[in-house]
Amino acid sequence: MSNDAKLCLSCMEVHEAQQVAVTEENIFKGKPVKYPARYEYCPNTGAYTASDEMIDANDISFKDAYRKAAGLITSKEIRAIREKYGVSQKDFSKILGWGSSTITRYENHQVQDGVHDDVLRKVSDDPKWFITLLARAKDDLSEKAYHKYLKKANEVYHAHRNRYLKDSIEALYARFEGINVFTGNTKINIDKVVEVINYLALNVRELHKVKLMKMLWFADFFHYKKEKRSITGLVYSALPMGAVPEGHETLLLLDGVCYEEIQYDEYENVGYKFYAEPGFQFKELTDSEIITLDEIIHYFQRHSAKEIIDKMHQEVAYQQTERLNPISYEHAEHLTI
């Protein structure tokens, strides 16, 4: 509430201007809409009046209430999308291929249609696509503005990178949805996968890629043998060197998975040595899962990559699965550890 004294146009006296919030209802595009509005209240006359600024703000509030009811993003959300990329209203319209004042109108009183709303949502969710649109509009922007926007968009893209990786993994695993013999009765939990990798890296000396892949498999299948569910929900395929998780290359790019590249020999063969992320917090793993991991670590701690590969090749699960095909968790009952 504002208590600034001024001339009241309702009673024509100088007194404190009281601002009040009320809920109003109006019709927009045939749809009744309730929305919050602000007015100045005169205690002498009991009348409500609105300044030009209030009239403007109330109308935007009205339109935003309609947007929400219609499932559209609000003017504030549109502004937030633009500001996320550090783009002016006029240049944002150019980048999207719209009229030069379109974004200005959408951030104020004009309600966008469904098609433009979809575009705005995609730009918000997909900075990589925004970068593509930015490249197309390069000739319509000043060189300084283009490079400024590109720098900001790349920063946003990098911040979203981990989510893209997760989306790609989840899309890969969508084909296994409900096929419990390959997922171990567990929906894939990418955050837990990262935790397992960190737990192994924290407790296993010289953890290289081949050994990591095999320890993940043994941990999931051993836990399934005991609990009838895997730890991570990973699906493993039988490759020539043993079991490997589906999407393993992408999994290793996730935030929280840390490794250093090392050169194995004079022929410049490069490998990965994993280490735990400093200060990593374990939040997903249960007590029983940690017990399983500890047992796997104890068993394979001193195994070389060749030894753990040989061990896997002796497992019924691997022997009974055709190469390049997913391994059924039903074979876990025959696990020799």
Question: 198 and 302, same structural domain?
Answer: yes
SS (H, E, C) 18-35: EEEEEEEEEEECCEEEEE
Q: Please, are residues 199 and 307 in contact by the beta-carbon 8 Å criterion?
A: no
Question: 88 and 65, same structural domain?
Answer: no
The per-residue DSSP string of 320-336 comes to: TS-TTSBPPGGGGGG--
**167 in a structural domain:** no
Number of structural domains in the chain: 3
Question: 212 and 97, same structural domain?
Answer: no
**169 in a structural domain:** no
Question: 39 and 98, same structural domain?
Answer: no
Task: Give the SS3 label for residue 219.
Answer: helix
Q: Please, are residues 254 and 192 in contact by the beta-carbon 8 Å criterion?
A: no
**165 in a structural domain:** no
**171 in a structural domain:** no
* Domain region containing 155: 75-160
Q: At what angle do helices 114-125 and 75-84 cross, to 10 degrees?
A: 40
Each of the 337 residues of the chain gets a pLDDT tens digit; together they read 445 788 887 788 888 878 899 999 999 999 999 999 999 988 888 888 888 999 999 999 999 999 999 999 999 999 999 999 999 999 999 999 999 999 999 999 999 999 999 999 999 999 999 999 999 999 999 999 999 999 999 999 988 888 889 999 999 999 998 889 999 999 999 999 999 999 999 999 999 999 999 999 999 999 999 999 999 999 999 999 999 999 999 999 999 999 998 876 555 566 889 999 999 999 999 999 999 999 999 999 999 999 999 999 999 999 999 999 999 999 999 999 9
Question: 94 and 235, same structural domain?
Answer: no
Question: 278 and 234, same structural domain?
Answer: yes
Residue 6's CB is within 10 A of a number of other CB atoms, namely: 11
DSSP state of 15: E
Question: 269 and 236, same structural domain?
Answer: yes
Comparing C-alpha atoms, which of 113, 153, 107 is closest to residue 133? Answer: 153
- Look at residues 36, 69, 102 and tell me which one is the last residue of a structural domain: 69
Question: 257 and 182, same structural domain?
Answer: yes
**172 in a structural domain:** no
Comparing C-alpha atoms, which of 152, 155, 59, 72 is closest to residue 120? Answer: 72
Task: Tell me the whole-structure pTM to 2 decimals.
Answer: 0.67
- Look at residues 128, 160, 192 and tell me which one is the last residue of a structural domain: 160
Question: 328 and 192, same structural domain?
Answer: yes
* Tokens describing residue 262: 């090392």
Question: 230 and 84, same structural domain?
Answer: no
Question: 144 and 228, same structural domain?
Answer: no
